[in-house]
């Protein structure tokens, strides 16, 4: 009779979990049933797995049961969603795809959720929809923040009138090419900043491994919808915070985030959260970390570092361009999204507000909401509306996926649109064509209760993804 051979793959087929129980079951089988038929032994082992309570303390199978119970005791039980979602306000409902609404409904059923809102630029994402705002109690959701932690807008304008841009387009185009970079080939613009000396790079194991990457990418932009562009700011409010006249100015607008540093932090802590906080399939990317836990505190520090790094990247870009222009800025506006903030509700209770693709819009807070490469962006002042959890949209929002956009237009058609709007594009692709985005004016119309317009920005020389 052939010698009994039970292998790990045999037990996995039976449903045995990866871990010590498989090894123990193999040992028990080979020690006690080496002359039995394999099929019969597997039937017995399956019986032990399915009815392990009946074999507790069993002379032969008790050791397998002990291993199974040890494995199962280490695995957290799946956390159930609440039966009903918390009420939340949606802005511009008719322009938001069903997938984004479904995602927000799921987020509103998390046991830790206390308030939510959906912005008019919302579209489907991972975890929270892009344009989703979610307040939780004492917990942070890595995928509620998103992959590009601290992604932000930065606008600088100068005491140069619009005619300067019209007369110096070629020069300004060269300045953009020479002083900006995106994607992975960013050595030409490598900068320096005190953020790279932060203690988190020494104290958090994961972050320590990312310091060199952060240094290599400092002062550069990401790919996709990230950009740096010259354009014209028109100040519309006599009582503006900048103390400047109501007229036009040369400006630089940039959109980018924390590059590889933020992406790696997001991936790592999302995995940790999903292991610690197992949720039903439809909610699994909304796993959270308790802020009282070591992992939660560690993520919060890493997230904050990534946000500050993203800010350093923008300031590095704008300072470099200001130097190339030979001009001193008269004003700079900066705001971020893809982040979590500790804020207070009306009764003074602290909440954690996740804005995944949403602009902070507390009372009097300035921000920038961009349109597309040929449509205006807006300098806004927040109204502090509690229904939106002091938030507004972070842009026009996509109405087409990247693939659909590529298949819906041509290079010839894109060039025609650019020419009509007198915009020069460096790099970029059909996936970022203006038709991929919602009508920014319509989006702004949906959020009049959230922000007031201080000024506009019209792009004229756009650099993307090259």
Provide, rounded to the nearest whole percent, the portion of the chain with pLDDT above 90.
74
Q: E strands within 357-450?
A: 358-360, 366-369, 377-382, 391-393, 424-427
Q: Are residues 155 and 14 part of one domain?
A: no
The answer to whether residue 101 sits within a structural domain is no
Task: Note the pLDDT of residue 183.
Answer: 66
Is the pLDDT confidence value at 76 over 80?
no
Q: What's the whole-number average pLDDT of the chain?
A: 92
The answer to whether residue 3 sits within a structural domain is no
H-run or E-run covering 456: strand 451-464
C-beta neighbour count of 65 within 10 angstroms: 21
Instruction: Give the three-state DSSP class for 154.
Output: strand
Q: Are residues 338 and 452 part of one domain?
A: yes
Task: Note the pLDDT of residue 188.
Answer: 52
Q: Are residues 305 and 415 part of one domain?
A: yes
Q: What angle is formed at CA 144 by the lines to CA 252 and CA 375, rounded to 5 degrees? A: 30
Is the pLDDT confidence value at 322 over 60?
yes
pLDDT band at 231 (very low <50, low <70, confident <90, very high): very high
Chosen domain end from 30, 49, 74: 74
pLDDT band at 253 (very low <50, low <70, confident <90, very high): very high
Is the pLDDT confidence value at 184 over 70?
no
Q: Are residues 318 and 225 part of one domain?
A: yes
The answer to whether residue 424 sits within a structural domain is yes
Chosen domain end from 45, 74, 103: 74
**Domains held by the chain: number:** 2
Q: Are residues 327 and 422 part of one domain?
A: yes
- The boundaries of the domain holding residue 13 are 8-74
Q: In this structure, are strands 227-235 and 451-464 parallel, antiparallel, or unpaired?
A: antiparallel
Residues 343, 351: Cα–Cα separation, whole Å: 5
Chosen domain end from 55, 74, 93: 74
pLDDT, one tens digit per residue, over 378-409 is: 999 999 999 999 999 999 999 888 889 888 88
Hey, CA dihedral for 417, 419, 424, 430, is it positive or negative?
positive
The answer to whether residue 406 sits within a structural domain is yes
Task: Note the pLDDT of residue 187.
Answer: 56
The answer to whether residue 341 sits within a structural domain is yes
pLDDT band at 227 (very low <50, low <70, confident <90, very high): very high
pLDDT band at 211 (very low <50, low <70, confident <90, very high): very high
The answer to whether residue 261 sits within a structural domain is yes
Q: Are residues 198 and 69 part of one domain?
A: no
Q: Are residues 151 and 68 part of one domain?
A: no
Q: Are residues 308 and 423 part of one domain?
A: yes
User: What is the Cα 193 distance to its own chain's centre?
Assistant: 23
């Amino acid at each position: 009779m052939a010698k009994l051979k039970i292998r790990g793959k045999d037990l996995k087929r039976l449903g045995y979990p990866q871990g010590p129980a498989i090894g123990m079951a193999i040992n028990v089988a080979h020690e006690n049933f080496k002359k039995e038929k394999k099929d019969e032994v597997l039937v017995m082992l399956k019986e032990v797995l399915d009815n392990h309570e009946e074999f507790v303390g069993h002379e032969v199978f008790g050791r397998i049961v002990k291993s199974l119970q040890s494995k199962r005791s280490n695995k957290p039980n799946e956390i159930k969603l609440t039966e009903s979602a918390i009420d939340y306000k949606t802005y511009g409902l008719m322009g938001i795809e069903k997938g984004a609404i479904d995602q927000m409904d799921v987020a509103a059923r998390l046991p830790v959720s206390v308030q939510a809102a959906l912005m008019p630029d919302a579209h489907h994402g991972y975890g929270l929809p892009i344009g989703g705002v979610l307040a939780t109690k004492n917990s942070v959701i890595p995928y509620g923040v998103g992959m590009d932690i601290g992604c932000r807008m930065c606008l600088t304008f100068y005491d140069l009138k619009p005619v300067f841009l019209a007369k110096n387009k070629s020069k300004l185009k060269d300045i953009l090419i020479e002083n900006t970079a995106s994607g992975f080939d960013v050595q030409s613009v490598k900068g320096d900043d005190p953020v790279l000396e932060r203690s988190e790079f020494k104290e958090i194991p994961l972050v320590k491994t990312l310091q060199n990457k952060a240094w290599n990418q400092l002062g550069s932009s990401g790919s996709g919808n990230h950009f740096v562009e010259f354009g014209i700011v028109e100040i519309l409010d006599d009582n503006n915070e900048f103390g400047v006249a109501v007229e036009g100015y040369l400006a630089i607008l940039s959109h980018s985030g924390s590059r590889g540093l933020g992406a790696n932090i997001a991936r790592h802590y999302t995995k940790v959260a999903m292991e610690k906080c197992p949720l039903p399939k439809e909610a699994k990317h909304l796993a959270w970390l308790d802020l009282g836990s070591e992992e939660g505190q560690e993520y919060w520090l890493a997230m904050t570092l990534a946000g500050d790094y993203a800010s350093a990247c923008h300031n590095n870009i704008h300072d470099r361009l200001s130097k190339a222009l030979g001009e001193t800025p008269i004003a700079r506006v900066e705001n971020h999204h893809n982040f979590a903030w500790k804020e207070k509700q009306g009764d003074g209770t602290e909440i954690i507000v996740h804005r995944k693709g949403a602009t902070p819009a507390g009372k009097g807070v300035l921000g920038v909401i961009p349109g597309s490469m040929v449509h205006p962006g807006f300098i806004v002042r927040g109204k502090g509306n509690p229904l939106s959890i002091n938030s507004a949209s972070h842009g026009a929002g996509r109405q087409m996926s990247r693939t659909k956009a590529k298949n819906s237009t041509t290079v010839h058609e894109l060039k025609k649109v650019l020419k009509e709007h007198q915009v020069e594009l460096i790099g970029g692709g059909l996936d970022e064509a203006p038709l991929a985005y919602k009508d920014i004016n319509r989006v702004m119309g949906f959020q009049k209760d959230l922000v007031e317009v201080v000024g506009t920005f019209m792009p004229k020389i756009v650099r993307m993804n090259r």
